[in-house]
């Protein structure tokens, strides 16, 4: 047969098929790249948000003798090269070159007491390979070479050291001071300078918090604080530093680039870190064993755990899009093969083999889909993101499915020459085996949904539980089967009622709807999942948006929150209250306090809860009211402090507080751990360091009004914007919106194709009825009565399934990764999207019916009837 001539005759159907194929390939190849790119960006953001000490690879070893000591920087550099040379291939591309990023080498002592301090003051010695570019000198000079002095008749080493200004103030270590360290093996330190970090915000300093800050610990049974600091020594001082008489640890930090890992390689990367740790432990190091310290595997595992379910739900939505798009293309192929059916039947009757006829049908479809699929694939490369297998497989799957379906359907339709069927006389009866299979599918779907809700996710599978993929698909297939099988029965009851009436149009229209051909009910398999997935996506999007707002309020605890490490004076509070847009200012005090007389500590906030509730009026979070005071100061305690009754709190003074209730979290302050909420008047003089503000004031104006450089102003609006603009949350909104629009469009296309598929049969029936007196108005009514029942029933079932899927999936739907870490629960879908979808489908069906009757009105009876059919 001449394929091109046949294509010219059916050019319109070919164009529709090509357009559907193009759009499907763009979506199926582009959206996965967009989603996977957001996963990578979220991973990079997670690693950048963690401290460098968690992300980097740190190799450590202890020196216990002079033979194990390293005295020269070159010795450290040689071992750094060795540790880099044994990196596994997955890690080799992630570790930055030596001397860049946060990479460095160090030597530190620990637990070195100052002689005569009673074990309450500790000054440790630390050497950093890159101290020269990491610190700046604020007083005195840089440390130099060590010297010696006589102490109790023994010559001891005197190290020149530099300390921070905080150590000077809290530990009284001033320039020129000399301190003897150790209890048995003594050394001395002379403070020759003060230093500060060249960039205090540099992630590098997370490896050395003990150098920048004084660590304060309250020993059990003591009221005074134990203070620790690490003083810097020079390269020359390294020659006298030995582990023979004190605790000494060497470290090599291999910096990991936070922007290098990909979410697809997380599992491989975690295994590589574990393998590297084993290899490091086998390296020769004298009497001590090297060990690898890093929090990278825990970070990666936590990232996957937080993302796995959200990833599954996202790809579930994309899987629904794939199924619907392929289904719509099948409908278009069905339309094209029906249009070409007469020519193919004639070719078969004239001696054409079944292979030739089926090949012709497949070639005709290939003319449309083969050029369109590569074009869609090429357009998908405009979407940024990594290339996944589905990017290549999606267009090939669409193209292969369309051509294969065309070949199979054509072969089945023309396996015998001039074979005709009449499906409009009576409804087809399904076989017993088919009914049994459909009942089994429905039962398995309901059982799977029940198990998913009752047992939750399988242990250790997180979002990779196969139930999360199988149950939604099974529920959709079950709903489609039930709809196809059940919707004719209520129509037949209505037909019986219509048969008693005197009007013929309702009876004829509903009868044709109840006796629909298989091609007429085929769109149900497209409409129902399209509506279900699009509504499910819109419900998920609404739930995420609401939870994002909840997370922002939980993060801030007020419209604006001011926190300061020092006390805020009364005039600063007054200035904040006068800022335009500020409606209410509630002062509060926060601190870390001692519980009892031991080392146990807890966080505390003193605030007027009644006024704070006014600040949170209208917000999705609230705080409880403080119960009436009884004996002692009332307090709300965390679950960890539940049941203790009366607690003695060491704050500005010793105060006894009595438990009056339990709170699991305090918005803006505490979410876990040990904490208390007490009245604002607990202290004799309120040392205000926190302000809770209601209003829409400019955060910058509030910052200027506070006048404290170290104060921080947190805005609920800014917190919400940060959550919404995160890589994951931004992408999920785009994907859900695109999916909803695309599926709604495919649903409407399915309605139109369904109208066109039955156009010839419907025109033939109308042509029979017009000589009997059927008017144009009655023809439009008959057509609408034939089409609308299937459309409306499918729309209602699809909407109900989409609204019920979040509840059916139950614990499997965890989208906290898209909502600031807060679990998305309590979906409360609105009626806007369902109403728009239903109205759109009904409108398209009505317009299609009207257009069809207008077109068929112009056709002559001979165009639809054969000789002898009308007498």
| pLDDT per residue as tens digits for the range 722-757 | 888 776 677 777 777 788 788 778 877 877 777 777
pLDDT band at 340 (very low <50, low <70, confident <90, very high): confident
Q: How many CA atoms lie within 13 A of 276 on its CB side?
A: 27
Report the C-alpha gap between 59 and 293 in whole angstroms.
Answer: 6
- State how far the alpha carbon of 744 is from the alpha carbons of 495, 523, 627, 795, 802, in Å: 31, 14, 53, 11, 13
Range list of H helices, 196-295: 209-212, 266-281
What is the Cα–Cα distance from 691 to 563, expressed in whole angstroms? Answer: 7
DSSP states along 44-105: HHHHHHS-HHHHSEEEEEEE-SGGG---SHHHHHHHHHHHHHT--HHHHTTBPPTTSTT-EE
pTM: 0.73
Sign of CA pseudo-dihedral 200, 201, 204, 208: positive
Per-residue model confidence (pLDDT) at position 469: 61
pLDDT score of 502 = 74
Whether residue 371 is predicted with pLDDT greater than 60 in this model: the reply is yes
pLDDT confidence band for 429 (50 / 70 / 90): low
The angle formed by the CA atoms of residues 160, 161 and 165, to the nearest 5 degrees, is 145
Task: Name the token pair of 190.
Answer: 């002379």
Q: In angstroms, what CA-CA distances link 829 with 179, 314, 429, 807?
A: 69, 18, 39, 11
Name the residue among 204, 104, 123 with its Cα closest to residue 170.
Answer: 123
Q: Which residue has the higher pLDDT, 818 or 611?
A: 611
- Residue 694 in 3-state DSSP? strand
Distance (Å, whole) CA 713 – CA 778:
70
Q: At what angle do helices 759-769 and 776-809 cross, to 10 degrees?
A: 150
Gap between the Cα atoms of 203 and 214, Å rounded: 18
User: Cβ(417)–Cβ(348) under 8 Å?
Assistant: yes
Task: Report the Cα–Cα distance between both ends of the chain, in Å, rounded.
Answer: 36
Q: What is the pLDDT of residue 178?
A: 94
Would the pLDDT of 252 be above 90?
yes
Distance of alpha carbon 308 from alpha carbon 298, whole angstroms: 15
pLDDT tens per residue across span 841-856: 667 766 766 666 666 5
Q: Residues 6 or more apart from 111 whose CB is under 8 A from it?
A: 122, 124, 246, 247
- At 546 the pLDDT is 79
- Comparing 90-99, 109-118, 510-519, 774-783, the range with the smallest average pLDDT is 510-519
Cα(860)–Cα(870) distance, integer angstroms: 13
Sign of CA dihedral 831, 836, 837, 838: positive
Average of per-residue pLDDT across 2-7: 81
- Asked whether 28 and 322 are in contact (CB, 8 A), the reply is yes
With 0-12 / 13-18 / 19 or more C-beta atoms within 10 angstroms meaning exposed / middle / buried, residue 697 is buried
**Distance set, CA 787 to CA 460, 717, 751, 759 (Å):** 49, 49, 9, 11
Radius of gyration of the chain (CA): 38
Class of residue 152 by CB neighbours under 10 A (exposed 0-12, middle 13-18, buried 19+): exposed
pLDDT in the model for residue 304: 79
List C-alpha distances in Å: 710 to 170, 551, 562, 563: 19, 25, 11, 9
Would you state the pLDDT for residue 459? 45
The mean pLDDT value for 499-507 works out to 77
The secondary structure of residue 176, as a DSSP letter, is T
For residue 678, what are the contacts with CB-CB under 8 A and spacing of at least 6? 604, 605, 606, 633, 634, 635, 636, 657
Provide the 3-class DSSP secondary structure of residue 10. coil
- Position with higher pLDDT, 209 vs 426: 209
Mean pLDDT, rounded, of the chain: 83
| Mean pLDDT, residues 215-239 taken together | 85
Q: Is the pLDDT of residue 763 over 50?
A: yes
Distance in angstroms (rounded) separating the CA atoms of residues 611 and 633: 18
Domain boundaries, the chain: 1-56+294-420, 58-72+98-261, 428-555+724-871, 565-710
Closest CA to 249 of 61, 76, 522: 61
Confidence of residue 786 (pLDDT cuts 50, 70, 90): confident
Total Cβ atoms within 10 A of residue 345 = 18
- Who contacts 351 (Cβ-Cβ below 8 Å, separation ≥6)? none
Residue 140's pLDDT band (cuts 50, 70, 90): very high
Give the residue among 692, 659, 693 at the shortest CA–CA distance from 676. 659
- Specify the pLDDT at position 612: 93
Judged by DSSP in three states, 459 sits in coil
Q: How far is 174 from 192, CA to CA, in rounded Å?
A: 8
Between CA 299 and CA 643 the distance in angstroms is 35
State the residue for tokens 């489908």. Answer: 841
Q: Do 473 and 448 meet the contact criterion of CB atoms below 8 Å apart?
A: no
Spell out a b/e string for 277-286, using b for 16 or more CB atoms within 10 Å of the CB, else e.
beebeeeebe
Cα separation, 817 vs 35, in Å, equals: 13
Residue 531 is encoded by which pair of tokens? 């509506």
pLDDT at 233: 96
Average pLDDT value for residue range 579-608:
89
Please state, in angstroms and rounded to a whole number, the distance separating the CA atoms of residues 478 and 437: 11
CA dihedral sign of residues 81, 87, 93, 94: negative
Q: Give phi and psi for 335, each to the nearest 5.
A: -65, -45
Q: How far apart are CA 648 and CA 425, in angstroms?
A: 89
CA distances from 44 to 38, 48, 814 (A): 10, 6, 21
The pLDDT value given to residue 66: 86
What are the pLDDT digits (tens) for 14-45? 998 999 999 999 988 888 888 888 888 888 98
Q: What is the pLDDT of residue 867?
A: 47
Which of 182, 128, 783, 765 minimizes the C-alpha distance to 506? 783
Q: Is 477 within 8 Å of 327 (Cβ atoms)?
A: no
In the chain, pLDDT over 70 holds for what percent of residues?
Answer: 86
Measured CA to CA, the distance from residue 495 to residue 507 in angstroms comes to 6
- Give, in order, the Cα–Cα distances in Å from 542 to each of 469, 545, 608: 22, 5, 34
Q: Compute the distance between CA of residue 674 and CA of residue 657 in angstroms, rounded to an integer.
A: 15
Give tens-digit pLDDT for 436-459: 888 888 888 888 777 776 765 554
Q: How confident is the model at residue 463 (pLDDT cuts 50, 70, 90)?
A: very low
- Asked if pLDDT for residue 500 goes beyond 90, the answer is no
């Amino acid at each position: 047969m001449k394929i091109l001539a046949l294509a010219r005759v059916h050019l319109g159907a070919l164009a529709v098929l090509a357009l559907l194929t193009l759009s499907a390939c763009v979506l199926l190849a582009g959206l996965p790249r967009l989603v996977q790119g957001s996963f990578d960006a979220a991973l990079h953001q997670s690693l950048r948000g963690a401290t460098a000490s968690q992300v980097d690879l740190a190799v450590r070893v202890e020196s216990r003798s002079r033979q194990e000591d390293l005295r020269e920087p070159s010795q450290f550099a040689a071992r750094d090269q060795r540790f880099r040379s044994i990196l596994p291939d997955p890690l080799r591309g992630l570790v930055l070159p030596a001397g860049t990023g946060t990479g460095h080498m160090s030597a530190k002592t620990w637990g070195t007491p100052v002689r005569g301090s009673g074990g309450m003051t500790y000054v440790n010695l630390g050497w950093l390979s890159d101290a020269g570019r990491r610190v700046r000198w604020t007083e005195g000079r840089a440390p130099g070479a060590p010297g010696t002095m006589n102490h109790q008749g023994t010559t001891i080493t005197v190290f020149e050291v530099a300390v921070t200004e905080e150590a000077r103030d809290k530990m009284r270590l001033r320039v020129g001071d000399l301190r003897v360290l150790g209890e048995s093996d003594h050394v001395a330190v002379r403070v020759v300078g003060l230093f500060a970090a060249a960039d205090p915000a540099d992630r590098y300093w997370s490896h050395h918090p003990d150098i920048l800050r004084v660590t304060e610990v309250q020993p059990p049974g003591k009221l005074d604080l134990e203070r620790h600091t690490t003083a810097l020594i020079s390269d020359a001082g390294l020659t006298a530093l030995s582990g023979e008489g004190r605790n000494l640890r060497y470290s090599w930090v291999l910096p990991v680039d936070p922007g290098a890992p990909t979410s697809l390689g997380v599992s491989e990367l975690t295994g590589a870190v574990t393998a590297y740790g084993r290899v490091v432990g086998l390296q020769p190091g004298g009497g001590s064993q090297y060990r690898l310290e890093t929090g990278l595997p825990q970070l990666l595992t936590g990232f996957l755990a937080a993302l796995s379910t959200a990833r599954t739900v996202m790809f579930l939505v994309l899987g629904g899009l794939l199924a619907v798009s392929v289904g719509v293309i099948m409908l278009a192929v069905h339309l094209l093969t029906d249009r070409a059916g007469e020519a193919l039947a004639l070719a078969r009757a004239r001696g054409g083999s079944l292979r030739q006829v089926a090949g012709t049908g497949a070639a005709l479809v290939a003319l449309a889909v083969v050029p369109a699929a590569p074009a869609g694939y090429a357009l998908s490369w405009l979407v940024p993101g990594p290339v996944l297998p589905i990017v290549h497989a999606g267009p090939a799957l669409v193209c292969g499915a369309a051509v294969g379906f065309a070949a199979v359907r054509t072969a089945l339709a023309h396996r015998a020459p001039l074979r005709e069927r009449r499906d409009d006389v009576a409804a087809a009866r399904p076989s017993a085996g088919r009914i049994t299979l459909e009942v089994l599918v429905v039962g398995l779907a309901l059982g799977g949904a029940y198990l998913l809700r009752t047992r939750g996710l399988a242990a250790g599978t997180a979002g990779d539980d196969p139930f999360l993929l199988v149950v939604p698909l099974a529920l959709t297939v079950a709903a489609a089967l039930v709809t196809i099988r059940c919707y004719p029965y209520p129509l037949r009851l209505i037909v019986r009622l219509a048969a008693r009436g005197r009007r013929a149009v309702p009876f004829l229209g509903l009868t044709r709807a109840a006796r629909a051909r298989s091609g007429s009910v085929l769109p149900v398999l497209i409409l129902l999942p399209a509506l279900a997935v699009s509504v499910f996506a819109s419900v998920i999007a609404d739930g995420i948006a609401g939870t994002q707002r909840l997370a922002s309020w939980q993060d801030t605890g007020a419209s604006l929150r001011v926190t300061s490490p020092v006390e805020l004076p009364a005039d600063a509070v007054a200035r904040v209250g006068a800022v335009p847009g500020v409606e209410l200012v509630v002062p509060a005090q926060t601190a870390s306090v001692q519980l009892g007389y031991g080392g146990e500590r807890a966080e505390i906030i003193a605030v007027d809860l009644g006024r704070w509730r006014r600040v949170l009026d209208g917000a999705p979070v609230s705080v409880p009211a403080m119960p009436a005071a009884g004996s002692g100061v009332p307090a709300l305690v965390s679950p960890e402090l539940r049941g203790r009754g009366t607690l003695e709190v060491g704050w500005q003074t010793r105060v006894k507080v009595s438990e009056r209730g339990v709170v699991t979290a305090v918005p803006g302050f505490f979410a876990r751990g040990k904490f208390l909420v007490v009245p604002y008047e607990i202290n004799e003089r309120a040392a205000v360091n926190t302000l809770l503000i209601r209003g829409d004031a400019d955060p910058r104006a509030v910052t200027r009004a506070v006048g404290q450089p170290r104060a921080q102003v947190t805005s609920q609006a800014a917190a919400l914007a940060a959550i919404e603009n995160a890589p994951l949350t931004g992408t999920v909104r785009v994907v859900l919106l695109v999916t909803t629009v695309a599926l709604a469009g495919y649903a409407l296309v399915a309605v139109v194709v369904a109208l066109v598929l039955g156009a010839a049969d419907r025109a033939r029936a109308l042509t029979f009825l017009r000589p009997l007196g059927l008017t144009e108005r009655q023809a439009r009514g008959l057509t609408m009565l034939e089409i609308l029942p299937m459309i409306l029933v499918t729309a209602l079932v699809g909407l109900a399934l989409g609204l019920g899927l979040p509840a059916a999936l139950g614990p499997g739907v965890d989208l906290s990764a898209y909502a600031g870490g807060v679990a998305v629960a309590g979906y409360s879908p609105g009626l806007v999207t369902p109403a728009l979808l239903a109205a759109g489908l009904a409108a398209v069906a009505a317009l299609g019916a009207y257009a069809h009757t207008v077109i068929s009105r112009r056709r002559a009876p001979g165009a639809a009837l054969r000789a002898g059919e009308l007498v």
